[in-house]
Structure 1
Amino acid sequence: MVSAGLPSASGDSTPDWLEPAMAANGIGSFDWDIRRDVLEGDHRACAIIGVEKGRFDSTSASFLSLLHPEDAPVVRRRVERAVAELGQCGAYYRTVGPNGSMRAVRFRGRVLADAFGRASRMVGFVWDATVELHKRDRADRMALLREERSRFIKEAARALSEAVTVRDVARVFTELPLPGLPPDGLVLAAQEAGRVQILGASGYRPDEMAVYDRSLLPAGHPAAEAIRLRAPVFIASREEYRERYPETWGPVSGSSRCAWAFLPLVASGRAIGVCLVSFDDDRELDADERTLLSTLGGLVAQSLARARLHDAEHELAAGLQRVMLPRTVPSIPGVSTAVRYLAAGSGLQIGGDWYDVVPLPGGHVGLVIGDVQGHDVHAAGIMGQLRIALRAYAAEGHPPAAVMARASRFLADLDTDHFATCTYAEVNVDYGVVYAVRAGHLDPVVRRADGSTAVQPVAGGLPLGIAPDEEYRVTRFSLDPGETVLLCTDGLVESRTMDLDTGFARLCHVLSGEVPARGESARDPLEDLADRVASQSADSSEREDDIALLLLRWDGPEGGLAAQQLRRRIGQADLARIAEVRAELRDALRRWGVADLVDTAELLASELVTNAIRHTDRDAMFTARLYRESDTDRARLRVEVEDESDLWPTRRTPGEQASSGRGLMLVEALSDAWGVEPRGTGKRMWFELCAAGPDAA
């Protein structure tokens, strides 16, 4: 390197004013002979670059070795492009001194051509750019910080918009990573009637928050001032806190925090709480930082207001639903029940689905599942009225068809323009017979003792409230001990993405799964089965409809046999009841293991019942009992029909053309024993049949 001035490109000497101008601005010059690869510069250029004697041999390779490893390839590419194009180039680069110190340099050069148009020399200037580069680095850092803050606001807004409940908002706020403002503590508090409620905190011990939770804020507290003025309060140091708020300095003086930001939460013009952001060092927040925190406070306020409204609506809906549905399911000997209610994932999470378990006269049990049209508070209100009415009709002892018909008339009389679907089933707890009536609702599903599951068809009628004079048909089916019947609403088996057939197939598959035996689980296996069925439904956030679910398992008497007694009252005007009693007697005898007595017993029982109904004006009581003799393994069936008439039966000998009078003759001829006994008021007619033993089948 030389410290002499460079000749101009035209060969003229350097103007006298150029050297003082370059010296005043700290600019050095260089000249690189491209063909000989010799690089020379004046003393200012050497000082700016940091060249020391002995470290530089005037070659381009030696110059590049002085540069920072990240900058050398950039300078090389730009110089090579300028040489190839006979153009200009320039760049910032960093040089590394012997002791590892770095300095920033900027150069600008131009390639000159010889008489043949070939690249011959590069001449140019260099100057110290450390201050300039620092300014650019700081500008880059500020631009990056602004970008991070903008991204943070977007991410915070997204996270807070997805927060549904107050707890979600508190969790999101206390986990926010503030860009460039690493706080040591975050607190979210709501205000109600002048008291603050701590919703969430990070960086604070529980005992620190307990002092303020659900307490009145002192008027001189910075949080109270922020809420009162609806403006942020920023405190840069402990001294500033002590000077501005001496009344509340005491509890704060023992902490290690040195700066605070109290952000009021204002929604719809009303202050609903405050956010606290604290730091463990003195922090004079600049305008951008204060704007960031104020914006964050606004986002949290809007999310908190929305979440509080959601929680209030959810609590209202849940409370209303709890009132409308049975608080507890009654315990009835001989059967086990399990119920579930799952609210839809949208709206008020309240609707018209309901279930009920009704104890009936004679120890029987009624099962109800239904769904009122609609998914709102109005539907829930109608559901509550209909549930109570249907429960009352069932508890009065009306047969299933009458219960459903009366419920339909009741709903029609309400004049609500709503209808309801419903399935009602009366279960004979003595021997597991189910009498089901369906009003536009889903069929029951039965899980048999061997684990197989199938839909049980039930004769259907119109939904309740559509045709007040609708007559409903009863479908009868039987359960063996340990078998389960399931009633549900359509939300369990039908959705926009699943048709009814697919839903029932999936439900049957779930029900058919292995169920732990009684005693193997701490819970009743029926409860586990109810949980498994409920879990197959869609997640609550996706569920489109409410789900009501009712399971009943007929446990039967101890030992697995049906109770060997059948007792029924038959109304004097209820002739259809005679056919029902005959059917119940048939099922009972098959279950008791004396199926060979079915035909005879049914015929003779029908004769006695018909005789009592026809010749009296009172109800009759039918009773069938099976006795077993342990020594002979014989079974004896005794059937009794009681009435309150003093008229004694007379055995007649009817003529060939007579249409009546053969009842007692049949009883005498086919029974093993029969008789009539007085009962004080009325009488008891009976007959007995003997069987050799339990039916092998």
Structure 2
Amino acid sequence: MATEPEPPARRTPPAQTSRSAARAETPAPVESPARAAREGAVGGSRRPAGLAAGRITPVVSRGLPTRSGDSTPDWLEPAMAANGIGSFDWDIRRDVLEGDPRACAILGLDAGRFDRSSGAFLAMLHPEDAPVVRRRVERAVTELGQCGAYYRTVFPGGELHAVRFRGRVLADAFGRASRMVGFVWDATVELHKRERAGELAMLREERSRFIKEAARALSEAVTVRDVARVFTELPLPGLPPDGLVLASLEAGRLHVLGASGYRSEDMHPFHRSPLLPIHPGAEAVRTRLPVFIGSREEYRERYPEAWGLLAERFPRSAWAFLPLIASGRVIGVCLVSFDDDRELDTDERTLLTTLGGLVAQSLARARLHDAEHELAAGLQRVMLPRTVPSVPGVTTAVRYLAAGSGLQIGGDWYDVVPLPGGHVGLVIGDVQGHDVHAAGIMGQLRIALRAYAAEGHPPAAVMARASRFLADLDTDHFATCTYAEVNVDYGVVYAVRAGHLDPVLRRSDGTGVVMPVVGGLPLGVAPDEEYRVTRFSLDPGETVVLCTDGLVEARDMDLDTGFARLCEAVGRPLPARGESAQDPLELLADRIASQAADSTEREDDIALLLLRWDGPAGGLAAQQLRRRIGQADLARISELRGELRDALRRWGVPELVDTAELLASELVTNAIRHTDRDAMFTARLYREPAAGTRLRVEVEDESDLWPTRRTPGEQASSGRGLMLVEALADGWGVEPRGTGKRMWFELGL
């Protein structure tokens, strides 16, 4: 039964033994016009029985076959012998294969011991090649054409050889396949060449892949340390080095950035040392060309002075010194060393030179990044407070996270300001922009606002003056800000907001809530803006969280979602004080900052300020309230009355609230109206076992004008203040202070 012709098999590199190595030659079939008729006459296929069954029965002779009528030219045998070509003759009908001695030698057959079985002959071929050879022969027989193949054969000793053959099928008088005659020759050398070519191709592909991976890894290296780490971990293909050293060159001195294969103590003497002119690395730097040394003898011959100083200390036998050139300037040198003698070929030297160029560009970029980062970090450190002052009664924690791109500097800032009377002011703000200009404005505004607060001005006045100051700078920038003054004695907060975010509170039950604060325009927008104060109280252990918008707002996160995440982070449980080596407030600050610190693409910088009111010692509020009242600041009197009410309730004497509030208001109003200076208000509660509990309120001013008790008429609108004090207080009086006076009254339970 005839078989359909198959297309030639795909060519496969001989080194890949898992694929077929048989190679088809282009067949040139002999067409017979009467082939169909003859096939019909004989009533069968030309394919012999042995071949159809997958069997070829070879009969090997010790000499050339001799057939009647054959005529062999005299020059053919010497030509075949000179070229190592053997011949074969396959009788297709008898299924007998004959070959000359050269063919037997090429195929690895021993004519005297060969068992003449088809199985033994096919077993000599490579398992992947035998079926391919059989199909090629079957096709040639079917088509009365020619065939050829390149295949591997296994000699009895196990050696792998390659063989090529070429044959043509001859037809008898009836047009049927009768014989196949052809040549066979050894192709083992060609096999080795193919294997070597395959190995070289694989090595080139591996090196090309290595260059791509190295370029990708070095492009992702941000800092100089990253570049050194990537370089010392590179697996060079085909020539794995035993030592790698990367050093930058600064003012003629080497700075070792990273090394592998060398101990750190061996590299220490070379760090920050001058590059000697006798050293091969100096030649690489001077000529801007790599220096390759293939053996220790070559090193000793070319650099005898450096050999005695350096090479004998390290057990290396081959070196490559690569200059690192970026923007036309040598910025360093890298060393690749080997334990054995190594004469690097052209491809290997090209690979190392290319690697040196990649490392140089990456190192130059990383050095520029580190310089910019250091500049930005230094400027930011100068602009922000170096330390947060410690204020008794409260605990603070601060964090600053630079933007993930650009100069990593911006206009966000925080500050903690100790205030008169033991109170503390909290400042959080953000100047428009993310550049050096914004950072400079931020520094000026921070200092001005701190000065206004430290002078004792109320929060609304501090914010108004800061807005006027920024407008006077004429920078075309505005700033958002929140200023909160905390009464440390009893935990009352007076907050003012200028276009900034509301604070978040961590309540005593562990929940996080947003505290609404009345807002005004950003600083610098309207110099005459008047800001309103929002007052709220804290219980011991409660925390105020102030932040800038970079924490709660981003390209993929709106403000509501950001505040929800912040409140969730603030409300999660914390260890109690004493259960952890770190203060719970610091743990809370780390938790909040970690939500944004994991992103290198952060678009905005972040300032974070936390304050926890620890409460009075022993669980009782401090028994003193001290406040400064500014001249002509009548609104401050209303705030003072509220503070006094809260203080008396916390001190446990609510029955004194109404009388104390009325009399304190009279004394403060009298001092403000009849003097041209500020007044200082002080309230103290004394608990004495003998005399009982009494409240003393004092109002100090710098005026020498003493109050005069009057008797107003029924229609008079003033003059009754001292009358009320005298009627309701248990005692009152006026005391001189050297400069000014002190008015006081006392109330007892």
SS, match of residue 389 in structure 2: coil
Q: 1:83 to 1:579 in 2, by over 3 A?
A: farther
Counterpart-to-counterpart distance in 2, 1:57 and 1:169: 67
CA, structure 1 residues 586+342, in 2 after alignment: closer, same or farther (shift >3 Å)? Answer: same
Deviations 1:123-154 (A, max 9, x none): 32210111121112111211211111111111
Identify the match of residue 126 of structure 2 among 64, 68, 73: 68
Secondary structure class of the residue paired with 1:598 = helix
SS at match of 1:208: helix
Which whole-Å CA distance do the structure 1 matches of 2:378 and 2:631 have between them?
46
Query: Which residue number corresponds to residue 136 of structure 1?
Result: 194
Matched letter for residue 732 of structure 2: G
Quote the offset at 1:517 in angstroms.
1.2
Change (3 A) 1:18 1:390: same
Flag the 1:584–1:122 CA change in 2: closer, same or farther, 3 A. farther
Structure 2 partner of 1:232: 290
Aligned to 1:359: 418
| 1:69 Cα deviation after fit | 3.2
Matched, 1:155 2:213: yes
Q: CA deviation at 1:103?
A: 2.4
1:212 is aligned to: 270
How many angstroms apart in 1 are the aligned matches of 2:334 and 2:103?
57
Aligned in 2, Cα 1:621/1:277: closer, same or farther, shift over 3 Å?
closer
State the match for 2:648 in structure 1: 589
- Select which of 215, 226, 233 maps to 1:175: 233
Amino acid in structure 1 at the alignment position of 2:434 = H
Which residue is equivalent to 1:675?
Answer: 732
The one of 625, 631, 637 equivalent to 1:566 is 625
Q: Does 1:51 align with 2:51?
A: no
Deviating more after overlay: 548-557 vs 50-59: 50-59
Name the counterpart of 1:693.
Answer: none
Which AA in structure 2 matches 1:576? A
Residue equivalent to 2:303:
245
Q: How many residues align?
A: 686
Map of 1:174-213 to 2, 5 A cutoff? 174-213=232-271
> Are the structure 2 counterparts of residues 269 and 642 from structure 1 closer, same or farther at C-alpha, using a change threshold of 3 Å?
closer
Q: Relative to structure 1, is the Cα distance of residues 95 and 385 closer, same or farther in structure 2, using a 3 angstrom cutoff?
A: same
- Residues 354-503 of structure 1: pairs in structure 2 closer than 5 A: 354-503=413-562
Bigger mean CA deviation after superposition, 570-579 or 520-529: 570-579
Shift of 1:286: 1.4
Partner of 2:4: none
Q: Which amino acid in 2 is paired with 1:207?
A: E
- 1:519 equivalent in structure 2: 578
Distance in 2, Cα, partners of 1:103 & 1:574? 108
Distance verdict in 2 for CA 1:501–1:630, change over 3 Å? farther
Stretches of structure 1 lacking an aligned partner (at least 5 in a row) = 691-697
Task: Give the partner amino acid of 2:276.
Answer: P
Rounded Cα–Cα distance in structure 1 between residues aligned with 2:138 and 2:728? 124
Distance between the aligned counterparts of 2:533 and 2:177, measured in 1?
107
- The CA deviation at 1:682 is 3.6
8 Å contact kept, 1:38–1:58: no
Q: How high is the TM-score relative to the length of structure 1?
A: 0.92
Equivalent residue letter for 2:357: G
Q: Which of 249-258 and 357-366 deviates more?
A: 249-258
* Aligned positions of 1:659-674 closer than 5 A: 659-663=717-721, 666-667=724-725, 673-674=730-731
TM-score (norm 2): 0.86
Deviations 1:578-635 (A, max 9, x none): 1111011122123223334433432333233334434555544332223346699x75
The one-letter amino acid of 1:384's match is G
Q: Conserved in 1, the CA contact under 8 Å of 2:712 and 2:718?
A: no
Quote the offset at 1:652 in angstroms. 3.8
- What CA distance in whole angstroms lies between the structure 2 residues aligned with 1:428 and 1:283? 77
Aligned to 2:608, what secondary structure does the other structure show? strand
Q: In the TM superposition, what is the alpha-carbon distance from 1:94 to its structure 2 partner?
A: 2.7
Shift of 1:427: 1.2
1:28 corresponding residue in structure 2: 86
Q: Cα–Cα, structure 1 residues 86 and 206, in superposed 2: closer, same or farther, change >3 Å?
A: farther
Q: Quick one: distance in 1 between partners of 2:187 and 2:524?
A: 89
The CA distance in 1 between the partners of 2:561 and 2:429, in whole Å, is: 21
Partner residue in 1 for 2:222: 164
- Does the 8 Å CA contact 1:654/1:660 hold for their aligned counterparts? no
Matches within 5 A, 1:640-651: 640-642=698-700, 644=703, 647-650=706-709
Answer with 643-652 or 355-364: which moved more: 643-652
Q: Distance in 1 between matches of 2:336 and 2:476?
A: 55
Q: Identity of counterpart residues, as a percentage? A: 81
With 450-459 and 59-68 compared, the bigger mean Cα shift is at: 59-68
CA distance in 2, matches of 1:258, 1:420: 65
Structure 2, unpaired ranges of 5+: 1-59
CA contact (8 A) 1:654 1:661 kept: no
Partner amino acid for 1:274? V
Mark the CA change 1:572 to 1:96 in structure 2 (over 3 Å): closer, same or farther: closer
Instruction: Specify the code of the residue in structure 2 equivalent to 1:158.
Output: R
Q: Does residue 103 in structure 1 map to residue 147 in structure 2?
A: no
User: For residues 151-191 of structure 1, what are the alpha-carbon distances to aligned partners after superposition, in whole Å with 9 as ceiling and x for unaligned?
Assistant: 11111111111111111111111111111112111111111
Residue 259 of structure 2 corresponds to residue 223 of structure 1: no
Residue 330, structure 1, aligned to residue 389, structure 2: yes
Distance 1:599 1:229, change over 3 A: same
